[in-house]
Structure 1
Amino acid sequence: MIGFPHASAFRDRHGKVRYRFRKKGLPTVYLPGVPGSLEFAAAYEAAASGAKPLAIGQGRTKPGTINALAVAAFESADWSALAESTQRNYRGVMERLRRDHGDKTVRSLTPEIVLRLRDRIPGQAARNNFIKALRWFLAFAVARGWRQDNPASAVVKIKYRTEGYHTWTEAEVAAFEKRWPVGTKQRLAMDLLLYTGQRSKDVRLMGRQSLTGDGIRVRQSKTGTELTIPLHPRLAASLATVPGDQMLFLPTQYGPAYTATGFYNWIKAACREAGVAECSPHGLRKCIATRMADAGCTHSEIMAVTGHKHPKEVETYIRARDQRRLASSAMAKIGTDAERDLANLPNRLAK
């Protein structure tokens, strides 16, 4: 193991160190680059998601095909402008589409075909993600004259109810803290996620370069928003345990930062050991937003920490706080001191 689940290193017959991904139920994939590089991370994420690598010779694409569209898109400035997480999601969608339909032409896609492709995908969230990614690639095709319209634009988003990632309760936070006390890397990870309110990607890359005065400075990878968040005393206590010569706060055992999948799996393992298996890294971002709402923070105050762009994105936390507050006020007005007199008469009910 090299810090990436199901990935291992070996020497080939020429003595060169190589890496491969092997997991039951998924194809074996040889990984390029070295652990910690973007090339390695992209290949690892694709292998872990089940996306099969292209067959040898498939890179010689025919003009106008879905394969050719993928190659052109991945090499474009438009692609490099996307956030890394967006690239990862879109690449997974396109690679699966290439695997089954790469030799078909982009012009052959119609709204009816897009719908059929969508409906074959299990899960409503995955179906919406497929349409979102395909819209981007086909908009790219339209901009370059590959076709005149975007058939994915005609497919509406599926509406469904979901609570998303589970929000950590205070009891779950306490259970994790009990199992992983200050001084452990797991506790530092939780404190960074909870007391900065940032996404996993930004927390994974935090280090001494992020510290400024008595706060942590972050440029959010997803939105580009720049934030400076004051150090909470609990986070300061955890950071005080980091060795002085260590730049990255949460390195893997081999030094570089975790990949998205590696970090998620590591936190999930720590949660299971703490007896809070339902919890995940993103749930701590929701937990701190809930805490701030319960403390009476305004939309703007919460957004100043989380970096959300629009008030409606934090409205859920404000609305839940107000509901509890109003319900408590309403029940308190009923009173419980004495049983109220009824209007019933001795021998019959009152009208």
Structure 2
Amino acid sequence: MPRSLPKYVQAFTDRHNKPRFYFRRAGVKRQPLPGLPYTPTFMLAYGAALEASQLAGVKSGSKVRLSKTEGPKVAPLPGSMSALVAEYKASKYFGRLGPTTIKNYTRLFDKLEAEVGTFPVKKMRRADVERMIDRRVKAGGPEAGNSVRRVLKLLMKVAVQRGYREDNPTLGVEKAEAPLGKKGYRTFSEADVSAFIAKFPLGTRQYLALSLLLCTAQRRSDVVKLSPKNIVGTYDPTDFAGRRLALTQIKTGKQLVIPIADMLREALAVAAVPAGAPAFMRTKDGRAYTPESFSNLFSAWSKRAGITEQASPHTLRKAAARRLAQAGCSVHMIAAMTGHDSLAEVENYTKAAEQEGLADMAMLQLQRPKGLPQPL
């Protein structure tokens, strides 16, 4: 017995005797659907079209829950990707994440649901995963593609654990790579550091921001929270010799104790931030910056310093890791500063420094006069 078409799907045969299918629903524009009904390609497009029509406010046979603060929200279909997202959000895995990660994942889940919310979890194939990553890479670059890869891996892990499917279609799917000659976040260079300091010398809040980022190797979400309360021991606003910073990372919850480097020690002593201040970096009215506002402001300061390339707090985090690598620190030592769990991520920061050092050693070997003993 032939299987009926999915709801709101119309079919006809074109003049070349080829079957055509459209999603057609009152109140929204008619949309062509690729392939044949119930194939993965077709269902991905169908799910996206159905989701878009629901978001557009079209009445649906599904139960709708109304909220005073939110628009209409369609209850997720059992076995769908939206239902899996809801289950993951209610799981122990989601609850143990840091607030920043929860915020970022929620944003990614919203995009995922808008694209494939109604798609059945058990029908997701590796090819579907790779297509979604490719689309995100095309729209927002490798970082965007790897973000959707990361959340899909989390969701499919839960799907297997809960018995919704036997295999994990994300296994073996490689990370998106930047095109040859291009990289993700660049590293704030030493030339950039010099240009920034020339424009904003010791005693300015811009210099203090640079010092906090470069000497702690922390994320912007952690830097904006650093305050006199993070100083280990009795706080003296003008003396930071031999002192340390103790912090708990917002993203990971990891607790770190970091020595205060000379550059930061001098910047803090000149700033003489009062003990009761909410943060070392404060707005003109004395409040702590939000991570977003701090990031935007630092980029604007960098432009004023004549730095035309990408300049964000994250480029300073990479620069701090690079400096540690150039000083001969091991990946474990660098991870102790940055708080990374994955040594592979630290190695991404240190590859350039290691290459430069090995190249210098190779040239010394080449130019060493014959007959002299080789270095140990």
TM-score using structure 1 length: 0.69
Q: Which amino acid aligns with 1:103?
A: T
CA 1:148–1:321 in structure 2 vs 1: closer, same or farther (change >3 Å)? Answer: same
CA 1:331–1:112 in structure 2 vs 1: closer, same or farther (change >3 Å)? Answer: closer
CA 1:310–1:60 in structure 2 vs 1: closer, same or farther (change >3 Å)? Answer: closer
Q: Does 1:215 align with 2:244?
A: yes
Q: Which amino acid aligns with 1:293?
A: A
CA 1:58–1:310 in structure 2 vs 1: closer, same or farther (change >3 Å)? Answer: closer
- Which deviations, in whole Å up to 9, do the C-alpha atoms of 1:275-329 show, x marking residues without a partner? 1132221222222333333334444443433334465534525513422431552
Corresponding residue number in structure 2 for 1:231:
260
Corresponding residue number in structure 2 for 1:86:
101
> Aligned match of 1:275 in 288, 306, 316?
306
Q: Which moved more, 1:174-183 or 1:138-147?
A: 138-147
More relative contact order, 1 or 2 (CA 8 Å, 6+ apart): 1
The total of aligned residue pairs comes to 283
Q: Does 1:320 align with 2:355?
A: yes
CA 1:95–1:178 in structure 2 vs 1: closer, same or farther (change >3 Å)? Answer: same
Q: Which moved more, 1:178-187 or 1:307-316?
A: 307-316
> Aligned match of 1:100 in 86, 98, 115?
115
Shift of 1:193: 0.6
Contact 1:183 1:238 in 2 (8 A): yes
- Which deviations, in whole Å up to 9, do the C-alpha atoms of 1:115-146 show, x marking residues without a partner? 33233221333223212211111222332333
CA 1:232–1:154 in structure 2 vs 1: closer, same or farther (change >3 Å)? Answer: closer
> Aligned match of 2:154 in 136, 141, 157?
136
Matched residue of 1:229: which SS?
Answer: strand
Corresponding residue number in structure 2 for 1:6:
none
Corresponding residue number in structure 2 for 1:293:
325
Matches for 1:110-189 after TM superposition, within 5 Å: 110-121=125-136, 122=138, 123-160=141-178, 162-189=182-209
Matched residue of 2:77: which SS?
Answer: coil
Q: Which runs of 4+ in 1 moved over 4 A?
A: 159-162, 252-257, 309-312
**Cα distance in 1, alignment partners of residues 332 and 73 from structure 2:** 51
Corresponding residue number in structure 2 for 1:77:
92
Question: Which consecutive unaligned segments of at least 5 residues does structure 2 have?
Answer: 1-54, 58-70, 234-242, 371-376
Question: Which consecutive unaligned segments of at least 5 residues does structure 1 have?
Answer: 1-52, 336-351
CA 1:257–1:172 in structure 2 vs 1: closer, same or farther (change >3 Å)? Answer: same
**Cα distance in 1, alignment partners of residues 230 and 56 from structure 2:** 39
**Cα distance in 1, alignment partners of residues 206 and 300 from structure 2:** 10
Shift of 1:246: 1.0
**Cα distance in 1, alignment partners of residues 134 and 334 from structure 2:** 38
CA 1:263–1:298 in structure 2 vs 1: closer, same or farther (change >3 Å)? Answer: same
- C-alpha RMSD of matched pairs (Å): 3.0
Q: Which amino acid aligns with 2:174?
A: V
Matched residue of 2:170: which SS?
Answer: helix
**Cα distance in 1, alignment partners of residues 255 and 189 from structure 2:** 28
Shift of 1:191: 0.5
Matched residue of 1:190: which SS?
Answer: helix
> Aligned match of 2:223 in 179, 203, 215?
203
> Aligned match of 2:273 in 243, 246, 251?
243
**Cα distance in 1, alignment partners of residues 262 and 245 from structure 2:** 13
Q: Does 1:191 align with 2:241?
A: no
Sequence identity percentage: 33
Q: Which amino acid aligns with 1:175?
A: A
Q: Which moved more, 1:112-121 or 1:157-166?
A: 157-166
Q: Which moved more, 1:261-270 or 1:305-314?
A: 305-314
Q: Which moved more, 1:249-258 or 1:115-124?
A: 249-258
Q: Which amino acid aligns with 1:233?
A: D
Contact 1:293 1:302 in 2 (8 A): yes
Shift of 1:179: 1.8
Shift of 1:268: 0.9
Matched residue of 2:174: which SS?
Answer: coil
Q: Which moved more, 1:165-174 or 1:322-331?
A: 322-331
CA 1:280–1:296 in structure 2 vs 1: closer, same or farther (change >3 Å)? Answer: same
